[in-house]
Copies of this chain bind each other. A is one copy, B any other.
Amino acid sequence: MSMPTNTLSIFALGGLNEVGKNMYAIQNDDDIIVIDCGNKFPDESLLGIDLIIPDITYLVENKEKVKALIVTHGHEDHIGGIPYFLKQLNVPVYATRFTLGLIELKLREHKILRESELIEINPDSKVKIGDMDVSFFRVFHSIPDCLGIVFHTAQGNIVHTGDFKFDLTPASNEHSDIHRMAEIGREGVLLLLSESTNAERPGFTPSEQMVGEHLEQAFMKAKAKIFVTTFASNVSRLQQVVNAAQKTNRKLVLLGRTMVNVVKIAMERGYIIVPEEMIIEPRDMYDYASENLAILCTGSQGEPLAALARLSTGEFRDVDVLPGDTVIFAAGPIPGNERGITTIVDNLFELGANVIYGSGSTSGMHVSGHGYQEDLKLMLTLMRPKYFIPIHGEYRMLYHHRRLAESVGVEEGNTFILKNGDVVDIENSTPRQTREVPVGNTYVDGGEVGDLEYVLQDRKKISEDGMLMLILTINKAEGTLLAEPEVISRGFTDGDFSKFRKDIHRITMETIEELQAENRMKRNAIKKLLKRNVGQFIRSDSRKQPMIVPILIEL
């Protein structure tokens, strides 16, 4: 049993009011255990940014207390921030075998695998971290080897579900451990943290079995090559493709680095069974008739550099999509990716392929890995928590999840809808929302990691309206110009710039004369007045407001 402590605190460093970047923490007096460390992908407004990860300032400031990172499963929104996290906080990482495989790939890429401490656990593991006893339970999701977590504390049991759905006929043998969940619920759950991704969708999530049946039908019907694109990490979906290929006597080709890597890990660790000699190299595929080939490839989200995008434009070396081939999207579009995906669909149709696409519900080729409303109610019913924090999702999802909780018996007022950083403190087994810890977005931009506030401001300004550089060469002693002012623009106008140039020239000269007359030829005064006068002129002529950068060379 744990030692009694005065206060137990729960908070999110990412994952609330957003989809992705999941990171939660549970803290008693001397220990902080972190749950997950995900990334999220930037939208188009974050110009040039590669990744968004949680700001872990609070953890770094409490470095000596941070005892462990527990990872529920291997999706990017739960593991993508780990290399950056470990570079600052080199604590043990607890995860299952398959999840560790994916984490290892990342750490190797960042060249920190050797110094990292990775601890393999399974659903039956019981570990003591600092003062806390921690146990686990198996949940089913769209990637192998997923965990929920139970923190056995003096305040009561705290349960974190990870990502899950209930699928009574999954494509793998990884059933949700409903019996264990029921047992946990019988023992008593003080506080449940449960994921909210599909809290707006009525009903139960459809079963993976449906996808298997549709895949098999499509494989039977196809008379030439079949391309299937899906998330590489959805190993049970990959297994279904393997099964369909086997039934229809097709060799399997893997395209895309992630697909090759993940299938390798999954085969080595026993999460996927592929018949011997089924997988062939792309360069060997034309040894086989087209009706004996299936190709598994990356790119289901329209990623412009992934295999499918290159196939759709005929730019993939050694492999062509030909008239009569079938292309199956066995993955739904993540919101925001629709445009990229449909461009690829159009290109594939132009190549003469038969394309099976659309949201899973229309094509039958995809089901969500996240539980719908009835799944969420089942989890709440099994766990019977006294208090509830909906996690993972935008506000509207958390809001709907609260309503679901109330519909199955969580008392009104016992649900906490939090923002990242909001702390729930538990004393005398009673949670209250109290203080806040600092949170935010940290950006990865090329090699740089930080808040990048000014860089992004500049990029945004220039990307919309362009910029104008005004270069003045000044005799410092005399306060006079040594050369004609130079005016250079980028991203501002393609048109007749000579008009602008002449006017800007004139305004610059007038500004300098004004300053000279007033004996104010100081760096800051010159820059400020130039920006103002040239800015005013441009606004009078154009709706664009380029960034104006005066540059003074003093000799």
Q: List the interface of chain A (C-beta within 8 A of B).
A: 17, 43-45, 47-48, 335-336, 338-339, 342, 345-347, 349-350, 355, 394-396, 399, 445-448, 450-456, 458-460, 462-467, 469, 471, 473, 482-483, 486, 488, 490-495, 541-544, 547, 549, 551, 553-555
Q: Is A544 a contact partner of B446 (Cβ separation < 8 A)?
A: yes
**Structural contact, B553 and A483, CB atoms closer than 8 A:** yes
| Chain B residues within 8 Å of A554, by CB | 483
Contact in complex: A454, B543 (CB < 8 Å):
no
Q: Is the interface of A mostly helix, strand, loop or mixed?
A: mixed
The answer, among B43, B335, B491, for a CB contact under 8 Å with A462, is B491
User: What distance in Å separates the Cβ of A76 from its nearest Cβ neighbour in chain B?
Assistant: 19
By CB atoms of chain B within 10 A, which of A48, A455, A491, A542 has the most?
Answer: A491
Query: Whose C-beta in chain B lies nearest to the C-beta of A394?
Result: B346
Chain B residues within 8 Å of A493, by CB: 448, 455
Give Cα A204–Cα B133 distance, bound, in whole angstroms.
59
Cβ-defined contact, B458 with A555, below 8 A: no
Taking a contact as CB atoms under 8 Å apart, the answer to whether B543 and A495 are in contact is no
Closest 8 CB pairs of A and B: A44-B44, A463-B463, A48-B464, A446-B544, A446-B543, A458-B491, A459-B491, A346-B395
A444 to chain B, nearest CB (A): 10
Q: A338-B335, A394-B342, A543-B447 are in contact. Are A551 and B494 (CB under 8 A)?
A: no
A497 to chain B, nearest CB (A): 10
Q: Pick the contact of A464 from B47, B452, B458, B471 — CB < 8 Å?
A: B47
A488 and B549 contacting across the interface, CB-CB below 8 Å: yes
Supplied contacts A451-B494, A551-B551, 7 more A-B pairs, CB within 8 Å: A446-B544, A448-B544, A459-B462, A462-B490, A469-B549, A471-B471, A553-B553
Q: Which residues of B contact A342 (CB under 8 A)?
A: 335, 394, 396
Pick 28 A–B contacts, CB within 8 A, sort by A: A44-B44, A47-B463, A48-B463, A48-B464, A335-B342, A346-B395, A346-B396, A347-B395, A349-B395, A349-B396, A350-B395, A355-B396, A445-B544, A446-B543, A447-B544, A448-B495, A448-B542, A450-B495, A451-B494, A455-B466, A459-B464, A459-B466, A462-B463, A469-B551, A471-B471, A473-B555, A488-B551, A551-B551
